[in-house]
Chains A and B, each alone.
Chain A
Amino acid sequence: MSHLYFNNAFSRRPLDESLKAMTPFLQTEFESPLTESEGSEKVRQVIRQARTSVAEMIFAKPSEIFFVSSGTEANNWALKGAVRRGKKNHIVISAVEHFSVYQTAEYLHREGTALSIVPVNREGIVDVDAVAEAITTTTVLVTVQCASDEIGVIQNFPAISDLKMRFPDVLFHTDAIQFACYEELDVSRNPFDLVSLSSNAIYGPTGIGALYVREGTRLMPLLHGGMQEEGMRPGLQSTGLIAGFGAAAEVNQKSRKEWKSKVGALQQTLIDDLRLLGLTLTGSISCRLVDNVHIIADVDGEAMLTLLTEQGVRTSSGSTCYQYAQKESHVLKAMGVGAEQARGSLLFTLDKDHTKEDIDTLVGHVDEALGHLRRLKP
């Protein structure tokens, strides 16, 4: 049975351009970039080019891009690297951050870092004034995502980054992992000090991400013992993955607008069709990623998932971590969604290659599953 894949917030199929760029470095071009040979020079050139492509995607300098193993590592590094600078010991996060920010902040809090969690409104949007009010003289870092992986809500990140002008001694970080695929982030206009990026989230290979570190920003490395990435992220680089990331970044810059327009139209169709089935969108409609359709159904989300999976639809009930733990999402909780209501969560994330027919087929399966479960309700 062929399947319909709507789990793109979790993993995307890498671009052919990425796979092509990667292949030589997984086969014959395996030399270390730190040695002196023709092969090493070739590896260095590819890493340089990829660094430039990733930098250009967010209007940064290549020297401000550090390759890491994932977006999760980038988020961990931003938070831990800032706190370990010492002297100041307070961080501010939003209540709807990805687990890799949220739990890292909780971990640091358990180790003694003061933590402020800024609430969101029912649409999932962070109040910028509340972020400013949370900042104290001991604050080392503020982190608010550009957009949520779970509910797709885009934050007012330009206003948050502008707080840097008022609080120049505080580091401002943003998780732009989901945002960067269809939207533009310009660090020359939005003065974040730190930005997390992921290759797979822009259709590159998994296992590679990047942290943008603005020139002059002091950040402690997570790892020690090597010269790679200027000593800031030691460990032999995976040239293949970096090449694939760079290729995805190049394609992203050329195709982002076209993808956004196409996926946005499909998203609107899906939202309209689901509304006809009595399902409404979670969070803001106007401030939203074009690929995210998160709904809360009036039936059990896990039961819906089972029925949809039987029909070949790959989707989820929200955050993977919570899905496995069968626990209420901290994001939905922060938006005032009750635990019982949250059990009806379903997340469809669209792909740039989806078609109107794919959406129609999905809606047909949702209609059928929903009807079945509604009939079973007491």
Chain B
Amino acid sequence: MRKQISVHSILDTFGLLCPMPIIKTAARFKEMKRGEVLKVLSDDPGIKEDMPAWCITSGNELLGIDEIDGEFHAYVKKLR
């Protein structure tokens, strides 16, 4: 659990399969400022591959992904 990360916004994508969590992350980032952190909740294991790949291509930073009770909590920092 990444308690030390200051989260600015939470996006719950429970029930949605990738790429929907990524698409919603990109949409939410449009409303956020550079340097802010988004916590993305997902129950799709696909996020473990898709989120790092998207962060590389979009130029944002993945701070980490935790797995808690079958749920994935991804922390993404907006850099661009």
Where the two chains meet, the residues of A that have a C-beta atom closer than 8 Å to any C-beta of B are 81, 85, 216, 218-221, 224-225, 227, 230-232
Give the docked Cα–Cα distance between A81 and B23 (Å). Answer: 22
Between A and B, 23 residue pairs with Cβ closer than 8 Å are A81-B15, A85-B14, A85-B15, A216-B12, A218-B12, A218-B14, A218-B15, A219-B15, A220-B14, A220-B15, A221-B15, A221-B16, A225-B17, A227-B20, A227-B23, A230-B20, A230-B24, A231-B16, A231-B20, A231-B23, A231-B24, A232-B15, A232-B16
Chain A residues with CB below 8 A from B14, complex form:
85, 218, 220
Residues of B7-26 contacting chain A, CB below 8 A: 12, 14-17, 20, 23-24
What's the minimum C-beta distance from B17 to chain A, rounded to whole angstroms? 5
What's the minimum C-beta distance from A105 to chain B, rounded to whole angstroms? 20
Chain B residues with CB below 8 A from A85, complex form:
14-15
Where the two chains meet, the residues of B that have a C-beta atom closer than 8 Å to any C-beta of A are 12, 14-17, 20, 23-24
The residue from A216, A218, A224 contacting B17, defined by CB atoms under 8 A apart: A224
What's the minimum C-beta distance from B69 to chain A, rounded to whole angstroms? 9
Give the docked Cα–Cα distance between A216 and B16 (Å). Answer: 14
Chain A residues with CB below 8 A from B15, complex form:
81, 85, 218-221, 232
Chain B residues with CB below 8 A from A218, complex form:
12, 14-15
What's the minimum C-beta distance from A66 to chain B, rounded to whole angstroms? 12
Give the docked Cα–Cα distance between A232 and B17 (Å). Answer: 10
Q: Which 6 pairs across A and B sit closest by C-beta, in order of nearness?
A: A231-B20, A220-B15, A218-B14, A231-B16, A224-B17, A221-B15
Chain B residues with CB below 8 A from A225, complex form:
17
